[in-house]
C-alpha cells in the first residue's frame, strides 16, 4: 500500500462515517456506531476498519494518509449537555443584561416550528453564563470607533478579581461597538494575561468578541464569543487527545477540522464555534464536487441520516446560501456559516401519537440515536422508528444490514410499532409501518420543495442528490412530494459527509462590519470615496495572508473571493453579492456593484421587488481565502459486459400499502450494476453500506462514475 490517502470523517448522531480515496480515485468506506461517551473510541474503531478495507494494518495505513479532515460534534454535545466551564463575561457598564434580555423572539431560536408555536410551555434556554458572573467595565467607544470614555485599568482589575473569586475558568470580553474599534477589548486581554500569566494555575482562555465576530449586532456578537468560549476548552482537550492517539498509531501530519463555512483548517488554527454543523456543510461541498462530474449545476443536496434530514442548495454550480441568522443550539450567532437546513426526520426518528392533535401520527424530532437505537437494533430501544418501519415493510434485509455487519430483529420492530402506533390508531402493524414511511417522506418532500421554491427557483428544474444511510431507501418517496423528476444516488451516499470532508480545501472567511452608502437615491449619487471601501478589503486580505503564511502556504497559492452583505435602505434582511474585482478600481465600479446587487436581488425575490429609491447600502465585508488545490478525481467504472438487462436477481416481498399489499420485488447487488444497465422499479439495490429502493414509476441507470441515476417515468 504505497498510495497516499485522503481521509474524511463525519461524526453523526448515530454513526461515525469514514471515507478514504487515493490519487487514482480508488476509495474505501466504513461506518461504525458513534460512541457518545467518548467520540474518539468510535473514531479509532472506524480508522482500524478503514485500514482493513484498504488492505493494510492501521499503523501502515495512517502513515500513508496525506490529510485527515474531521467534522466533530463535541462542541454541540457540550452545549446540549451544559457540560462547559464556568465563564465570566466582561462587558460595558450598563449592558450587563444583554444576553439575558436577548432580542425579539430569541427565546424561540433553535426550536422547531411546532415547539416555537407552543407559547404556553416554551421556556428560555438556561444561560451559558450566570448573571452573577457578568461584570460591567467603565469605558465607552461610539459607533464610529471613537473613544468616548477611556478604559480604567484599576476598574478592570477589581472586576476581574470578582470573577476569579467566584470560580471563573475562562473569560469572554464583549464591549459595545468593539467591532469598530477593538482597542479596549485588547487592553482588557492584556491586563488579564498580565495578572494571570500562563505559568500560573489561574490562567484561563480569554475570548474577544472583536476577534471571533467583528460584526454589528450586540447580542449576536456577544453570544458568538460566549458559545466559542463555552466549547473551546472541551474541544481543545478532545482534539488534543485524538491527535495524540493518531500520532501513536502512525499518523504524522496535523489533524484538519472541517468548518461550517465550507472549508477546513488545521485544528491548531480553528475556532471552536466554526465546527458546529460542519458535517452537513461538508456533504453540501461534496455535492458540488459530484455535480461537476455529472454535469448538474442545480442540485438539492439531501442527507437522511439516523438523527436528521439535512437540505442544502447548489445554484448554477455554486454554494450561495448563507445562514441569515445562524443558530448554534439555542443561541443566535454571527458566524458566516453556509446554510444547511435540518429537520428531525432520520432513520432513527421516533414515531409517536400526539394526543393534543387528536391522536395524530407524528415523526420526530426525538431520535433513538445510536444507543439504544431503533427497536430492531436489539440494544434496548422500545420506541418505533422510521428504520423499524422500513425493516417491517421488507425494504431492509434484516440479515444483510450494513453488508451483514448488523442483524436486525424484525419481531422487535413489529412489537414496537404495534404497541405505540398500530394499537392506539386501531390499525394493523403493516398499515402502521406504511403510514410511518409515507408521513416521513411527505415531511421531507415538503421541506425540499419549500427550500427551493422560497429561494425563487422551480423545484422541477433541480436534481435531488440523495445521501445518508437512509436516503437511498426514501429518495423516490420524498422526491415525488418535492416535484423532482431526477435523483442522483452516489456509491458513497451513506458516508457522503465524510466524502465531502475529504474533498474540502483549506479555506477560511474573514469578516468586518462597515456601513457604507453605495447609492444615494435622493441625490442620485454613487459612492465617491472609493478608499473607504478598498481600505477594508486590504485590511482583510492582509489578515488572511498573515494567517495562511503561518500554515506554510505561499501567497501565490491563495485565491480570494469577496462577498458583500448588502440591502436597500431601511431593509432588515441582507443579500450576499459577490464582487469579483475585490477592489473598486474606478469611478464606474460603484454603479457596476449596484447593478450586480440589483440582479442578484431580482433573481431571489423577482424584479418587481427591487427598490432602488430606498438607496443601496453595504453593511458587511466577507473575504474568503482558499488555498488552490487540484480538484478531486472520481474513478470511472467499466461498462456492463453483455446484455445490460441480464442477471435476474433474487426477490423479496415488500408491502406497498393498503389496497396493494405485498409484491415480490427484485433485489439487486450494487456491485452488479455496471454502466449501461437499466432497472425499472419497483426494485431494491443492496450495497455494503446502504439500501436503495426504486419505487414503481422510476427507472434506475448507472453512470460511468458508478452514480445511480433515477428518472421518473410516470406523469401526473
* Of 455 and 435, more confident: 435
What's the pTM value of the predicted model, to 2 decimals? Answer: 0.83
Please state whether beta strands 558-568 and 575-578 pair in parallel, antiparallel, or not at all (unpaired): antiparallel
Pick from 50-59, 62-71, 480-489: least confident? 50-59
Supply the pLDDT for residue 112: 67
DSSP 93: T
Q: Distance of CA 145 to CAs 138, 177, 514, Å? A: 16, 7, 11
Lowest-pLDDT choice from 228-237, 559-568, 657-666: 228-237
The pLDDT of residue 29: 84
pLDDT for the residue 318: 83
Q: Residue 704, class by beta-carbon neighbours within 10 Å (0-12 exposed, 13-18 middle, 19+ buried)?
A: middle
Task: Identify the three-state secondary structure at position 576.
Answer: strand
* 109, three cell numbers: 431560536
Tell me the percentage of the chain whose pLDDT exceeds 90: 42
pLDDT-derived band at 370 (thresholds 50, 70, 90) equals low
Q: Residue 401 pLDDT > 60, yes or no?
A: yes
Kindly report the CATH number that applies to the domain delimited by 507-627.
3.30.1490
Higher-confidence position of 154 and 704: 154
Per-residue confidence (pLDDT) for residue 559, from 0 to 100: 92
Report residue 643's pLDDT band, with 50, 70 and 90 as the boundaries: very low
Distances (CA, A) of 302 to 63, 346, 489, 516: 34, 11, 10, 38
Residue 346 pLDDT greater than 80, yes or no: yes
| Per-residue confidence (pLDDT) for residue 191, from 0 to 100 | 95
Q: How far apart are CA 495 and CA 16, in angstroms?
A: 9
3-state helix, strand, coil in the chain (%, to 5): 35, 25, 35
Cell 414515531 appears where? 351
Q: What is the pLDDT of residue 632?
A: 61
pLDDT of 638 > 60? The answer is no
Say how far apart CA 632 and CA 650 lie, in whole Å: 36
Q: Answer yes or no: is pLDDT of 55 > 80.
A: no
The answer to whether 337 and 277 are in contact (CB under 8 A) is: yes
Bridge partner residues of 679 (DSSP): 700
Give the C-alpha separation, 461 to 514, whole Å. Answer: 37
Say yes or no to pLDDT of 640 above 50.
no
Secondary element (H or E) of residue 511: strand 507-520
**What is the helix (H) or strand (E) element at residue 333, kind and residue range?**
none
Whether pLDDT at 642 is above 50: no
Name the residue with higher pLDDT: 222 or 22: 222
Residue with cell 458568538: 224
Q: Between 25 and 617, name the one with better pLDDT.
A: 617
Decide which of 157 and 338 is more confident. Answer: 157
List phi, psi (to 5°) of 60. Answer: -65, -40
The DSSP letter of residue 630 is P
Q: What is the mean pLDDT of residues 310-332?
A: 84
C-alpha distances out from residue 568 to 245, 517, 610, 613, Å: 52, 10, 9, 8
- Per-domain residue ranges for the chain? 78-236, 349-439, 507-627, 650-707
* Cβ contact 439:354 at 8 Å: no
For residue 126, what is its C-alpha cell? 438556561
pLDDT tens-digit profile of 587-634?
999 999 999 999 999 988 888 889 988 999 999 999 999 988 766 666
Is pLDDT larger for residue 31 or for residue 129? 129
At 2, the pLDDT band (50, 70, 90 cuts) reads: low
**Mean pLDDT of the 658-684 span:** 88
Other C-beta atoms closer than 10 Å to the C-beta of 393 total: 22
Average predicted confidence (pLDDT) for the chain? 87
Alpha-carbon span 60 to 102, nearest angstrom = 52
Q: Compute the average pLDDT of residues 571-596.
A: 92
Please give the pLDDT value at position 530: 95
Choice between 2 and 237, residue whose per-residue pLDDT is larger: 237
pLDDT for the residue 711: 92
Amino acid at each position: 500500500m504505497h498510495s497516499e490517502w485522503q481521509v474524511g470523517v463525519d461524526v453523526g448522531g448515530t454513526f461515525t462515517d469514514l471515507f478514504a480515496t487515493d490519487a487514482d480515485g480508488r476509495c474505501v468506506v466504513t461506518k461504525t456506531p458513534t460512541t457518545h461517551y467518548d467520540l474518539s473510541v468510535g473514531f479509532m474503531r472506524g480508522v482500524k476498519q478503514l485500514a482493513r478495507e484498504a488492505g493494510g494494518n492501521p499503523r501502515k495505513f495512517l502513515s500513508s494518509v496525506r490529510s485527515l479532515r474531521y467534522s466533530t460534534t463535541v462542541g454541540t454535545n457540550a452545549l446540549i449537555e451544559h457540560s462547559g466551564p464556568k465563564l465570566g463575561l466582561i462587558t460595558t457598564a450598563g449592558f450587563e443584561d444583554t444576553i439575558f434580555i436577548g432580542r425579539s423572539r430569541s427565546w424561540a431560536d433553535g426550536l422547531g416550528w411546532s415547539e416555537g408555536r407552543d407559547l404556553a410551555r416554551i421556556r428560555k434556554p438556561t444561560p451559558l453564563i450566570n448573571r452573577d458572573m457578568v461584570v460591567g467595565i467603565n469605558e465607552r467607544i461610539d459607533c464610529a470607533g471613537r473613544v468616548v470614555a477611556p478604559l480604567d485599568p484599576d476598574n478592570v482589575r477589581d472586576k476581574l478579581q470578582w470573577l476569579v473569586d467566584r470560580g471563573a475558568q475562562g473569560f469572554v470580553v464583549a464591549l459595545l461597538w468593539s467591532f469598530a474599534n477593538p482597542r479596549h477589548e485588547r487592553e482588557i486581554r492584556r491586563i488579564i494575561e498580565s495578572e494571570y500569566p500562563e505559568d500560573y494555575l489561574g490562567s484561563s482562555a480569554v475570548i474577544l468578541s472583536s476577534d471571533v465576530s467583528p460584526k454589528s449586532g450586540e447580542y449576536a456578537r456577544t453570544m458568538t464569543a460566549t458559545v466559542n468560549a463555552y466549547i473551546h476548552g472541551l474541544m481543545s482537550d478532545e482534539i488534543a487527545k485524538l491527535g495524540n492517539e493518531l500520532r501513536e498509531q502512525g499518523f504524522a501530519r496535523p489533524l484538519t477540522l472541517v468548518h461550517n463555512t465550507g472549508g477546513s483548517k488545521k485544528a491548531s488554527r480553528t475556532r471552536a464555534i466554526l465546527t458546529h454543523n460542519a458535517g452537513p456543510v461538508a456533504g453540501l461541498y461534496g455535492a458540488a464536487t459530484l455535480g461537476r462530474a455529472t454535469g448538474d449545476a442545480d442540485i438539492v443536496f439531501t442527507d437522511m441520516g439516523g438523527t436528521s434530514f439535512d437540505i442544502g442548495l447548489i445554484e448554477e454550480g455554486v454554494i450561495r446560501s448563507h445562514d441569515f441568522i445562524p443558530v448554534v443550539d439555542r443561541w443566535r450567532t454571527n458566524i458566516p456559516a453556509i446554510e444547511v437546513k435540518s429537520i428531525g426526520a432520520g432513520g432513527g426518528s421516533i414515531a409517536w401519537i400526539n394526543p393534543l392533535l387528536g391522536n395524530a401520527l407524528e415523526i420526530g424530532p426525538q431520535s433513538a440515536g445510536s444507543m439504544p437505537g431503533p427497536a430492531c437494533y436489539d440494544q434496548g430501544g422500545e420506541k418505533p422508528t422510521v428504520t423499524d418501519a422500513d425493516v417491517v415493510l421488507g425494504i431492509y434485509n434484516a440479515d444483510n444490514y450494513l453488508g451483514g455487519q448488523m442483524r436486525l430483529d424484525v419481531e422487535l420492530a413489529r412489537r414496537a410499532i404495534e404497541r405505540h402506533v398500530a394499537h392506539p390508531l386501531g390499525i394493523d402493524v403493516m398499515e402502521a409501518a406504511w403510514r410511518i414511511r409515507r408521513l416521513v417522506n411527505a415531511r421531507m418532500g415538503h421541506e425540499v420543495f419549500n427550500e427551493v421554491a422560497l429561494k425563487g427557483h422551480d423545484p422541477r428544474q433541480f436534481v435531488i442528490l440523495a445521501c445518508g444511510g437512509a436516503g437511498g431507501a426514501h429518495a423516490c418517496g420524498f422526491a415525488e412530494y418535492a416535484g423532482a423528476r431526477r435523483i442522483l444516488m452516489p456509491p458513497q451516499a451513506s458516508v457522503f459527509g465524510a466524502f465531502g470532508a475529504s474533498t474540502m480545501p483549506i479555506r477560511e472567511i474573514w469578516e468586518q462590519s462597515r456601513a457604507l452608502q453605495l447609492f444615494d437615491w435622493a441625490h442620485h449619487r454613487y459612492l465617491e470615496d472609493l478608499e473607504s471601501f478598498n481600505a477594508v478589503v486590504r485590511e482583510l486580505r492582509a489578515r488572511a495572508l498573515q494567517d495562511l503564511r503561518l500554515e506554510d502556504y505561499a501567497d501565490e497559492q491563495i485565491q480570494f473571493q469577496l462577498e458583500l452583505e448588502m440591502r436597500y435602505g431601511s431593509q432588515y434582511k441582507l443579500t450576499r453579492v459577490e464582487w469579483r474585482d475585490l477592489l473598486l478600481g474606478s469611478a464606474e465600479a460603484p454603479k457596476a456593484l449596484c447593478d450586480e446587487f440589483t440582479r442578484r436581488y431580482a433573481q431571489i425575490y423577482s424584479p418587481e421587488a427591487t427598490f432602488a429609491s430606498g438607496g443601496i447600502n453595504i453593511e458587511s465585508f466577507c473575504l474568503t481565502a482558499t488555498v488552490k488545490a487540484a480538484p478531486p478525481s472520481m474513478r470511472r467504472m467499466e461498462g456492463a459486459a453483455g446484455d445490460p438487462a441480464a442477471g435476474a436477481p433474487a426477490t423479496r416481498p415488500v408491502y406497498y400499502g393498503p389496497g396493494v399489499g405485498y409484491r415480490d420485488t427484485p433485489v439487486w447487488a450494487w456491485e452488479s450494476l455496471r454502466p449501461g444497465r437499466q432497472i425499472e422499479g419497483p426494485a431494491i439495490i443492496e450495497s455494503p453500506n446502504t439500501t436503495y429502493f426504486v419505487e414503481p414509476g422510476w427507472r434506475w441507470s448507472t453512470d460511468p462514475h458508478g452514480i445511480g441515476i433515477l428518472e421518473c417515468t410516470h406523469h401526473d
